[in-house]
Structure 1
Amino acid sequence: VCVCVCVCVFLVLAPPPAGVWFTKNPTNQTVSQGNQARLGCAVQGVGEPDIVWRKDGEKLYSTDQMFISLGEQHWETYHSVKSVQQQDAGQYWCEVEFHGLTFSSEPAWITVEGVPHFVQEPQDVATLPAVPFNLTCAAVGPPEPVEVLWWLGGVQEGGVRPSPSILHVPGVNSSVKFYCEAKNARGISVSRTGTVHIKVLPSVPAGLQVLRMVDNNVTLSWKPGFNGHSDLLTCTIQLSRRSGGRREQQVQVPPHLQVLSGLRSHCNYSARISCANEVGASPFSPWLHFQTPESVPSAAPRNLTFDLSEQHLTLRWAGLQEHELQGKLLAYKVQWSLGGEAQEALLFKQNEAHLSGAGRFFNASFQVSACTVIGCGPWSPPLLLLPAAAVQVPGGRSHMWVGLLLGLLVAAMLGLFLSALVRRRGKETQFGSAFKPPGAESSVSFTAARSFNRNCVELQESTLDSLGINDDLKAKLQDVLIPERLLTLGHMLGKGEFGSVREAFLKMEDASVQKVAVKVLKSDITSSSDIEQCLKEAAYMKDFHHPNVIQLIGVSLHRRPGQRLPIPMVVLPFMKHGDLHTFLLLSRLGEQPFELSVQTLVQFMLDVARGMEYLSSKSIIHRDLAARNCMLNENMTVCVADFGLSKKIYSGDYYRQGSVSKLPVKWIALESLADNVYTTQSDVWAFGVTMWEIMARGQTPYPGVENSEIYEYLIKGERLKQPADCRDDIYEIMHSCWSPVPKCRPSFQHLIEQLEALWLSLSPAPTKEPLLYVNLEGEEEADEEVGASGAGARGLGLEAAASWGVPWQCGGTEDEEKDWLMVASGAALAIGGDYRYIIGPCAATEEEEEAAAAAAAAAAAGGGRGRTESMDTLQEVRDEEEEEEEDVVINV
C-alpha cells in the first residue's frame, strides 16, 4: 500500500516534461444512482488529440468521444456516464502518449450513492431437524450506514442490525423460506429468497442394469435418486444366487457403477441396491435378475469304471455337480487310445456308454470329459482295460487264454517274416538288388525300390520356400503354416476379384475337427507379387488379438499339378452369420424379414468402433472399412475383417497411396480422394459411412450419385442424408465423421464413448435361449436351409439367420424329438471331434450306427443344395448394388 501511495504522489506532484502539461484535471464527484456524471480533462503541447480515459487502470472505449480545441496544440475532452450505477463507481484519469512517453492527469473518484447493494446474499441451507445453523447477509452503500433486517418463514426475526449481519437460528423441524432487507438513507434493498431444507433419507436408486459381462465379471450401473438434500456417501449392493447364498458389498460413490467379480458361470443371480447419506439408507431398488455366461466344466467326471463281457463294453462315471458343470450339459466326450494311437472320440448324452465288440478294446485306455456349448472340461484319469481283469462271465477266462496264444503265434510268425525281409532288403541298392555271385551262367535280377504311376502325378507338400516371397514375411508365417492334408474344403461361400471364400474343416492336433473359412487365391494368378500381397494380409492378422477383429488361424499352400507356384489359402474362423452387409439386407429383403432394434444396430456400431480403435492403436490403417468387410459370429458380435488394403505406418501418422489401385470411392474420405493420403481420420470417415449403412439396413451409400461424381458432390459440402427412422443423435455422430478437416473428426475412442452412452439410454432388446438340440431326421432339411442362405452370402459364411436366439429365431423342438443328440455347428466346434458319431443313451447296433452315419453323410452332402426364391431376389439386389458400388481406378 505504501509503495502504491508513493507512486501516485509522484505522478501527481512530479512536473511533466517541458512541452506537455495538463491544464485541466478531472474532479471528484458524488452522484446519486441513476443520475449523470461528467469528467473533464485538458492537455497542452500535443499536435493531435490522442487522449484516452482509464477507470481503475482499465482503458475505456467510447464511440462518441469528442475533442474540443482550446488553442494551438491545446485540446479538451470529456467522459460522460448518462445513468450512473454501482459498477460505475471508481477512480478515473486521462492519459496522453507523446514521443513514446505516457503522461497521466490527476485521478478523480466517482462515488455512487443509492440503495444498498448486496456483497453477500444468504444461501440455501440443508440441515438436520432441530440442529442450529447460521445465516449471513452483507450490504454496502454509499451512503452509509447500512442496516439489515431478517425475515424467517414470513416472520421478522429480531430487530435492525448493522451490516454485515449473522443470524443464529436454533433449529427448525420443517422446510422454511428466509431473506434479509438492507436499508440506508436512499432506500431499501431485498436479497434473494433462500430455503432451509431438512435432510431426509435418499430415494430409491433407479435404472439398475448390467452394463457389461465379461467371463465371470459383471459390471452394474445405476442412477442415483433424490439425495435427500445430503450428498450420497455409499451404496450397498445385495447379490443373491438363485440356488442359495447371498452376499452384500458396500461401495463408495461416485461413480455409480461397480464390478462384481468371482461369480459362478451359468448361474442365475439377482441384485438390488440401496444408497445412503448422513441421515441413513434409502429403500432397496427392485431386484435385477441376470444370468452369467456359460463356461467349460471346472472338474472331470469321477469314478470312471467299466464292465467288459465277451460282446459288450459298458463304461460308467459319476455326473458333475451343477457348480462344477458351469453350463448346460451338452454331452460327455469319451476318447480312447489303443497302442498309444488316439481313436475317434465318441459323444454320449448320459453318464454311461454301451459299446459292442468288446474284444477290440483289450489294452485300451479310456478318458471322459463333460462338455458344454463353450467347450469341454478336464479329462478324467486314464482307465486301462487289462485282459486279465476284463472277463466277468464263467468260462470266459479259457476263451481269453486261447485268444492270447493265437495272438502270440501270429506275432511270432510275423516277426520271422519281417526279419527275413529286412535281411533281403539289406542287400539291395537304391537301383535294385546286387549282381549274383559269378557262376556257370551270369544272370542279373532287379527289384524296383519304388513304384510309380504315370497316370497320377504325386505332389509333395508345399513350403513357404517355394513361393518366392521375402524372408521377413516367410519367417512371420512359418509358425502358422498348416499342412494341406489337414484341410477338407467344402462349398463356396463367396467370390471376389482376387479369389473365393470356401467352407472347410480343419483337423486339429487332438483329432477333433473345426469348421473354418478359407480364402483361396484365384487359380489363374501366378505371379509371386500377387501371392505376396495375399500373404501380407495374413501377416497383419497374425498379430491381432481382439474380440472385434477377426483373427488368423493359419496359412496353407495348395500344390497344383503342372504349376510352379502353389495357391496360398488363408484359414480364418468360420463366421456363422456372414458379412454385416448381407445380414442387413436379409433383414429387409429375406424370405422372412425381421426387425432389428435400434439397440442392436448401435451394438453393431460399437463393435466396429472398438475393433477400429484397436487397429489404430496398432498403427494399422484399414482403408477399406465397410459393412461388407465386417463379419458376424455366432454370438452376433461384429468383427472387422478384410485387410487386403491395410497398411502399417511405421513413422508419421499417414500413408500415401503410390500406385494404381481399385478403391471403394463411396467410403473414401475427401482428402484421400484429392491427395491419396490415408490416415486414421480417413478410417473415421469410412466408419461414418458404415454407420449410415447399418441404419439404412444395407442400402448403397449416395443413391443416385455415380462414382465419378462423388468428389464434386462432397466438395460442394453435400453429405449422406439422414436415413429414415434414424434418430437425430445417431445421425449427429455419423455426420461428425465427415468433417472436411480431418483433425476435427472424432477419434475412435471418443466415438466409443458416445455410442456407449447412447446404447445405455436405449431399452434392452428381448432375447431367447439359443437352440442346442435338433432332430436327427431334420438335419438334412436344416442343412439345405443353411446352403440356401449361405449360397448368396458374401464373406466368411452366412448360415441360416434363424439359428440365433433373437426374434427371428426358429422355434424349439418337441421333447420326443430329443432322444438323439445332434450338435449344432457352434457346439460341434466347442466339443471338437467328428460330430457325426453321436450315440444315444441306449446301446446301438451296428446296423443303427451305419444308418446314422449314412444319414449324417447324406445331410452333409445335401448342405449346399437348394436356394429359395427370396434368396434369388436377394442375390439380384446384391448384384445390382455391387454394380453400383463398383470401384474406380485412381491413378496416382
Structure 2
Amino acid sequence: MTVSQGLPVRLNCTVEGLDSPDIHWMKDGAVIETLDEVFIQLDDRHWVSFLSLKSVERSDAGHYWCQTYDGRETEMSQQVWLTVEGVPFFTVEPKDLAVPPNASFQLFCEAVGPPEPVTIFWWREHTKVGGPVPSPSILNVTGVTQSTEFSCEARNIKGLAFSRPATIFIQALPAAPFNVTVTKLSSSNASVAWMPGADGRALIQSCTVQEELMVEGTRANLTSWDPQKDLIARVCASNAIGYGPWSRSLVVSSRDHAGRQGPPHSRTSWVPVVLGVLTALVTAAALALILLRKRRKETRFGQAFDSVVAGGEPAIHFRAARSFNRERPERIEATLDSLGISDELKDRLEDVLIPEQQFTLGRMLGKGEFGSVREAQLKQEDGSFVKVAVKMLKADIIASSDIEEFLKEAACMKEFDHPHVAKLVGVSLRSRAKGRLPIPMVILPFMKHGDLHAFLLASRVGENPFNLPLQTLIRFMVDIACGMEYLSSRNFIHRDLAARNCMLAEDMTVCVADFGLSRKIYSGDYYRQGCASKLPVKWLALESLADNLYTVYSDVWAFGVTMWEIMTRGQTPYAGIENAEIYNYLIGGNRLKQPPECTEDVYELMYQCWSADPKQRPSFTCLRMELETILGHLSVLSTSQDPLYINIGRAQEPAEGCSGELPGGDQPSGGAGDGSGMRAAEGTPSDYRYILSPGGLAEPSGQAEQQPESPVNEAQRLLQQGLLPHSSC
C-alpha cells in the first residue's frame, strides 16, 4: 500500500479454525502496542482483527502482518508493505559554522522521499543561490564578512519543505582573560591561574603571560622570581585570528610575601577532614547493614541459640518461626485483609465477597495492558449456574495501589441499582502460590453483545455490515441518558462516558458501565483531578482540559460526544487531530461536525452539550425528555409510512425516578452490567480489544427454513426493521 502522509489507513486480517485466538499485529518484527485495534468474532471459530492508523507518518512505513499462536506453533498472515509518501524529509540539514572573515567553507543538505526524485534549492538569507540540484547537495561559499543565514529547500511532486536555518558566524579575537590569581607562592616561584574570556568563536590555541612565556590551558608557573621584588603578572589569549587584549595586571608586593607564614596551599583545609568523617560514617553504616542481613538470614526459620548457660557453652534449642509443607507450594489465604487495601474499602466490599470456589473461569473475552475479561459460570445458592463476566488484573503488575484503584470501581458499582447502569454481582479473590498477593476479580453480568462501540463499528465496517435504523440509534441515546440521569441524581460524576463504556444486553438495552474514573461528590458540585494522569481527552469538556475540573456538566459534554459516536456508527471523534491539539481546536470555537445521516434536531441537542459555559448545557433529565420526544416523532412517522412497523412490547410501569414509557409504547425492562469493558488500574482508559459475540451475519436462505433463527440474527432482523422491543427508564 502507498499512502500519503496524514491520511488514515485500516488493515485487517482474519483467522479461522480457532476457538479463541490471541491475534497480535506486528510491524517489522515487533508487536504493535496501540489503542486502535478492534477484535471481532464473526461466527464460530471465525475472527477478524482491524488495525487503524488514523494519521500515518513516515515512521509508520514498514512491513505489517498479524500472527497468532494455537498452542503448538505460530501462524503468520501475509505481509503488507506500507509506503508513506509525503513532502521531502531532511536526513542532513546545514549546520552552524564559525569561520574567519572571507574564508571559504561548505554546507551540506540531503532530503529524501518517497516519492523521488528530490531536488534542492539553496537560500542565502532571502535570496536563492543557484538553480535546482539533485539531493544530496553541497554548497561552496567563497566567504562572508558578517553573520549570515543559509538554508535549503527540498521539493518533490508532493510539495516542498525547508530545512533549519544555519547561521555562519564570523570569528573574532578572543576577549581578555579575567580573575588572574596566584594559587601557589614560595621563595623562588609562583603559580598563576586565570579564567579565559570569550573565545571569539574559535578555539583558544594558547595563552601568553607577560615576559613572553607561552603556555596552554589556564595555569602557569613563574620561576626565577626574586621574592624581594613585587610580582606583576598579566595574561592574553590567542586563537586562529590572532592575539587578544591583555588582562588586568595582578600585583603581589614583596611585603605581602614576607608576611606569609607559609604558602597558601600549605594552610589547613577543612575539606579533607569532612571527607574523612563522611567516609567513616558510610563504612560503619555498610558494616551494620551486612551484619543485620546476616542476622536475619540466621533467624529466618526460627531462633537457634538460647542464652549462655553457667558452664560457658551455648544451649542449642531450635524454635521454628513458621511451619512449611514441602509437598506443595504454600498459598496465602485469599482474604480482603491480605490485599493491603484501606479499611474503608474493605468494609464496603465485605458483604459482596464471593468465594473463589463458587465460579469456574472460561474463555477470554478481552484483554488489555492492565488485565483481562473472562467468561465464567457462577454457582447459585440453588445449585444452578449463571453466565457472568470476570474482570481481573494482570498477575505480573499487581501492587496494593493497583488493587485499591481496581476495587474502588467495584465499590462504586455496589451502590447502583438501575436498569441502565451496570450492576455489580460481586467481588472475589484468586489465591496464588509462593506467597504472592491474591488476584482481585470483579464479577459482572455477562453482556451478550459486548460494548456499544464495537457493535456500532461492526455494523459499519464488519465483514458483513448491517443497517441500524435511526430509531434504534436514538433508543441507545435514551438508555444512556436514563442511566446518566440516575447517576447524576446520586451525585456521581462518571468522567469517562463514551460508547466503549456502554454495554449491550441480549435485548439490546444499553447500560452505562466502566466506573474506573467515577467519583462521588460529597460536598459542592465538582471534583478536581489532583494529579496528571491519562484521561480520555477527546471526550473531555473545555473546563476539564483547562483546569482538571469535573462536574455533571462535563459528563453532559461527554454525552454529546457519545451521541456523535452513535450517529456515526463508531467513528473516532476529531479524526486527524492529535490529543495535544484538542484544547486549542475547541477554544477556537470548533466542534464536531454534523454527521451525514444525523437530523437537525439531534445535532442541535448534541451541540448544546458542547457549550463553552457549563451552566448553559442541558441536564440529563432535559436530554432524556428531548430524545424521547424525537424518538416518539420517529416512531409515529415510521408507523404511518411502513405498515409492517408494529410494537410487540407489553406496557409496564416505569422505573422509579424517570418519566415513564417512551412515546410509541416502548416498554421498560431489566438488564444491567458490564460484560467486556476493561479499565486500567490507574483509572485510565486501557487498550482492551473490543469483542462482539457471534452474530452480525445473515443466514443463507436455505438454512433459514431448515433451522430456527439464532437469537443474535433475530435481533439483527428486528433492528433492521425497527421492530425490536426496547426499554425506557
TM bin (shorter chain):
0.3 to 0.5
